Amino acid sequence: MGSGHGQELNLTLKVWRQKNTKATGSFETHQLTGISVDMSFLEMFDVLNEKLISEGKEAIAFDHDCREGICGMCSMYINGRPHGPKQGVTTCQLHMRSFKTGDTIIVEPWRSGAFPVVKDLAVDRSAFDRIIASGGYISVNTGNAQDANNILIPKTDADEAFGAAACIGCGACVAACKNSSAMLFVSAKVSQLALLPQGQVERKERVLKMVAQMDEEGFGNCTNTGACEAECPKGISLENIARMNRELMGATFK
Amino acid sequence: MSKLDSKIPEGSIEQKWTKYRSSIALVNPANKRSLEVLVVGSGLAGASAAATLAEAGYKVKVFCFQDSPRRAHSIAAQGGINAAKNYQNDGDSTYRLFYDTIKGGDYRAREANVHRLAEVSTSIIDQCVAQGVPLAREYGGLLSNRSFGGTQVQRTFYAAGQTGQQLLLGAYSALQRQVGSGNIELCHRHEMLDIVTIDGVTRGIIARNLITGEMEKHFGHAVLLCTGGYGNVFYLSTNAMGSNVTAAWKAHKKGAFFANPCYTQIHPTCIPVSGDHQSKLTLMSESLRNDGRIWVPKKKDDTRKATDIPEEERDYYLERRYPAFGNLVPRDVASRAAKERCDAGYGVGKSKMAVYLDFAFNTARYGKTEAIKQNIHNPSHEQIMTLGKAVVKEKYGNLFTMYEQITGENPYEVPMRIYPAVHYTMGGLWVDYNLMTTVKGLYALGEANFSDHGANRLGASALMQGLADGYFVIPYTLGVYLSAEVTRMSAEKDKSDSIDKLKTNHPAFETALKEQTDLINKFLNIKGTKSVESFHKRLGLIIWNKCGMARNKQGLLDAIAEIQALRKEFWSDVRVLGTADEFNPDLEKAGRVADFIELGELMCKDALNREESCGGHFREEHQTEEGEAKRDDVNFAYVAAWEYKGVSEWELNKEELKYENIKIAQRSYK
Ligand SMILES: Cc1cc2nc3c(=O)[nH]c(=O)nc-3n(C[C@H](O)[C@H](O)[C@H](O)COP(=O)(O)OP(=O)(O)OC[C@H]3O[C@@H](n4cnc5c(N)ncnc54)[C@H](O)[C@@H]3O)c2cc1C
Ligand code: SF4
Ligand code: FES
């Protein structure tokens, strides 16, 4: 797969267009020629948008900001996969060298009832913020902290917590799941804090509140298909879901 | 008399902050609940300020243009955060951090602010760890440190190459906790378009709901701009795509002085530009300079592969020129040195505008140590390299992956190609010691203000400053103003048309709202032929070429004329499609580019005025024989604070910089 330096691609794009949350959407087809393989997927969209504007047509709306795979804002569903064909990368980090000339690429927004489409390829993921607000924190007001080195944390625990904390809140896990479950996202935060000594005091309460909020937001149930883990750009592991289920058991049956 | 009062407290530098902090008037809890604070921005500065103020009992509203506060540009910071903890027992102290920062800033920062920053730095680490931020640890469970440029101690705390992400998620969780308790109202996907002032005092803002396009009025007793830096004026930078100057610029046009706009930081280690399609540049963290050595071939136009060039034919030019600091010289020095080598014809790669950052030596060194640890006797070179690569991967894995994604080359096998790129802006809104701008009730925190980094920022100091401002400075200094507001409110209690009763019904809000609505319609009605993006690119090129790493008088004069012409063309020929009452990213960008164009002109004027070289500001006319920056302390030891007077018109105000604790000296890293 892929193409070498300096090459150029001719592509057909089928892109989802939807005026706003209430409107019904449909696919629009565009031809692009001379796309450099060194471009990122979003730079290819920049080229397309410039072309549309020059033709007097409205640009395609899509979310993005850092373009470095860390803010979690970009969110395109490409050829049936969140963030496209390459594993472990976000849409903004996907480069055109992952495609061949003549390819048809289908681009859609995340599809989930809990993530309504805002416009074209942009969706509303504020449900994630509300889940964090329900309990995804340690209650410590500014100024209340003890010296940082008074809390010793074994490196392996710190590393494991860091692994879970690497979640960028992009929502690809939800988009990948046939049930629109948010378990991977929620369990990553629950795990991070459950693994750290600082997180112990609120451990039980936290998982209960976060799961309740998750359900209220309309995310589906987890049926262990593992699609979320496979599509997560940050390698958040299914073990987190198992840990959260244990946390939940522990909290429910006291 | 100067219009600038920096309000630096009396007393010795070590005691200024502690004494002042304990003498600030307090606002009692009942009054706090009736005081509303608008925080614009949810990066490290905004999130930490909002959370802390809400914890204290104020009514807080937070604005950000992203779909979630967690996505603020701070999330992308890679390398680390400084604090004078001296956990490594290597001679660090508050004074040393203070000294390094002043010197690193090339003696153009305010002593009192920088000392305060160094003092509170240690509390930041404590706070973040308490929040559950998983900073890197040693096997004994203690926190780990690494080195950054411009210092000789190890005081940088980190979380792999994702320090900003982890710190921001910590601040974001504190913020969301307050949202959950109803103390903060969150306005995401909102863009502040102007501040509203009444009789010269800030009373609120005008914001656009980016989804519906609705224009909104928000009242506040104080407004905190935590809106980040303006590096994207260059078009290509390491900043997030949305980072912009609009909030600060609109405030500037309403009376907030803009300080040192020409102080911009060009970061030495970024992935070089690969083509015209490029939309942004990617940083390779400064922490890599801990373990990488920078070199170019000794021979001009050497076309051999890096790995085929023998050791003795490599020029480790930083180690050669600056033996004491070597690869760890400050950013401005490292960037200029790279430019010098490339301009002289020693650059590498297809474009010849790159130098090598090579990890082979340290990979081997780590490999050997690992082999000893694992009891492997007489390891082969291959074994050593495999073991070493595992260590490097643990430290910088995400950066190496990012590099490979972008360039298609494997940095574990071949050296990275790097070149300087725009990264950070030291200039920003002028603030006094309380972080208040020249407009009453309007504050600026984080990268949006000018205060702590002088003419050059040291690595790992922006995260420190953002969190210092938000967690530990503003919660105190805001009290100075708000306690006076409480007095005013009680005096005006019975007034039927007091601002506290009218709030957004005051006619000033309507006027400001109309102004901004008209502006939006103006963009849409130009119906020109050129895209917003194309103007941004052209602006960036002018500024990069003439107000970038090296500047000279003629170039700056040309740039000013070109930018003025570009502005006229923009306002007559820009094409913005779609409507005002929908999600319209192109319309948002039009407003941002319009402001960048105006800022660009001021940057060039500031650079023209500053007839010296200092930190990131390098005037070709002012250099030593070895090509180092040559300051002029007699004439330019001041902060240039520009007052907006109308289109293309500014008045210069000077804040003299006094060095009472650190002897001002020629910076030397040799
Ligand atoms: C790639 C990269 C790596 C870096 N690494 C490091 C590092 O290792 N160590 C270090 O110390 N520093 C680093 N820096 C610098 C540091 O990240 C920034 O200076 C710092 O994070 C800025 O924080 P802030 O809170 O001031 O602003 P930002 O994080 O930029 O936040 C700005 C906020 O303002 C909001 N906003 C802006 N305008 C408006 C408006 N008009 N209306 C509403 N909201 C608005 C945005 O939505 C956002 O929430 C790095 C910078 C870059 C680019
Ligand atoms: S768990 Fe992975 S896919 Fe889900 S939000 Fe986090 S980073 Fe994205
Ligand atoms: S744009 Fe930030 S992760 Fe893709």
Asked if residue A157 lies in contact with residue A118, where contact means CB atoms within 8 angstroms, the answer is no
Q: B243 by DSSP, 3-state: which?
A: coil
Which ligand neighbours the alpha carbon of B80 most closely?
1
The pLDDT value recorded for residue B275 is 84
Average pLDDT, stretch B225-234? 98
The pLDDT value recorded for residue A3 is 46
CATH superfamily of A126-252: Alpha-helical ferredoxin (1.10.1060.10)
Say if residue A2's pLDDT is above 50: no
Residue from A212, A73, A198 nearest A137 by CA: A198
- Going edge to edge, which strands form the sheet with B184-187? B184-187, B59-63, B36-40, B222-225, B442-444
B68 and A169 within 8 Å at the Cβ level: the answer is yes
Q: Is the CB of A112 under 6 A from ligand 3?
A: no
Say if residue B1's pLDDT is above 70: no
Residue nearest to atom 1 of ligand 2 (CA): A185
d(Cα B48, Cα B239) in Å, to the nearest integer? Answer: 20
> What percentage of chain B has pLDDT greater than the value 90?
92
The pLDDT value recorded for residue B148 is 84
Average pLDDT, stretch B7-21? 97
Q: Is the CB of B462 under 6 A from ligand 1?
A: yes
Only one residue has tokens 């008088």, namely B553
Determine the distance in angstroms separating the CA of B589 from the nearest CA of chain A, rounded to an integer. 12
What is the average pLDDT score of chain A? 96
Q: Is the CB of A82 under 6 A from ligand 2?
A: no
Which of A40, A58, A141 has the CB atom closest to B55's CB atom?
Answer: A141
Q: Is the CB of A177 under 6 A from ligand 2?
A: no
Say if residue B290's pLDDT is above 90: no
Average pLDDT, stretch B365-374? 95
Domain ranges of chain A: 8-119, 126-252
Q: Which of A116-125, B350-359, B637-646 is the least confident region?
A: B350-359
Determine the distance in angstroms separating the CA of A137 from the nearest CA of chain B, rounded to an integer. 5
Q: pLDDT band at B257, cuts 50/70/90? A: very high
Give the tokens for residue B201. Answer: 């005092």
A136 and B176 within 8 Å at the Cβ level: the answer is yes
The pLDDT value recorded for residue B294 is 96
Q: Is the CB of B38 under 6 A from ligand 1?
A: no
* Chain B residues near residue A134 by CB distance under 8 angstroms: 180
Q: Give yes or no for B253 touching A (CB within 8 A).
A: no
d(Cα B412, Cα B385) in Å, to the nearest integer? Answer: 9
Say if residue B338's pLDDT is above 60: yes
Domain ranges of chain B: 268-421, 516-656
Give the tokens for residue B532. Answer: 């917003």
Say if residue B650's pLDDT is above 90: yes
Q: Is the CB of A169 under 6 A from ligand 2?
A: yes
Q: pLDDT band at B500, cuts 50/70/90? A: very high
What is the average pLDDT score of chain B? 96
pLDDT digits over B629-640, tens only?
A: 999 999 999 999
Which CATH topology does A8-119 take? Ubiquitin-like (UB roll) (3.10.20)
3-class DSSP string for chain A: CCCCCCCEEEEEEEEEECCCCCCCCEEEEEEEEEEECCCEHHHHHHHHHHHHHHCCCCCCCCCCCCCCCCCCCCCCEECCEECCCCCCCCHHHCEHHHCCCCCEEEEECCCCCCCCEEECCEECCHHHHHHHHHHCCCCCCCCCCCCHHHCCCCHHHHHHHHHHHCCCCCCHHHHHCCCCCCHHHHHHHHHHHHHCHHHCCCHHHHHHHHHHHHHHCCCCCCCCCCHHHHHCCCCCCCHHHHHHHHHHHHHHCC
Asked if residue B438 lies in contact with residue B256, where contact means CB atoms within 8 angstroms, the answer is yes
pLDDT digits over A98-142, tens only?
A: 999 999 999 999 999 999 999 999 999 999 999 999 999 999 999
Q: Which of A100-109, B7-16, B329-338, B558-567 is the least confident region?
A: B329-338
Q: Which of residues 145-174 of B touch A (CB under 8 A)?
A: 159-160, 162, 164-166, 169, 172-174
Which of B126, B282, B475 has the CB atom closest to A68's CB atom?
Answer: B282
The pLDDT value recorded for residue A4 is 54
Q: B590 C-alpha vs ligand 2 centroid, how far in Å?
A: 32
Ligand 2 nearest-atom number relative to CA A168: 7
Which chain B residue has the Cα nearest residue A191?
A: B132
Report ipTM (2 d.p.).
Answer: 0.97
- A8-119 and A126-252 share one fold: no
The pLDDT value recorded for residue B150 is 83
Q: pLDDT band at B395, cuts 50/70/90? A: confident
Which CATH topology does B516-656 take? Methane Monooxygenase Hydroxylase; Chain G, domain 1 (1.20.58)
pLDDT digits over B174-187, tens only?
A: 999 999 999 999 99
Residue in A81, A173, A231 to alter for ligand 2 test, most ligand atoms within 8 A of Cβ? A173
Which CATH topology does B268-421 take? Flavocytochrome C3; Chain A, domain 1 (3.90.700)
The answer to pTM > 0.90 is: yes
Average pLDDT, stretch B59-79? 97
Q: Give yes or no for B360 touching A (CB within 8 A).
A: no
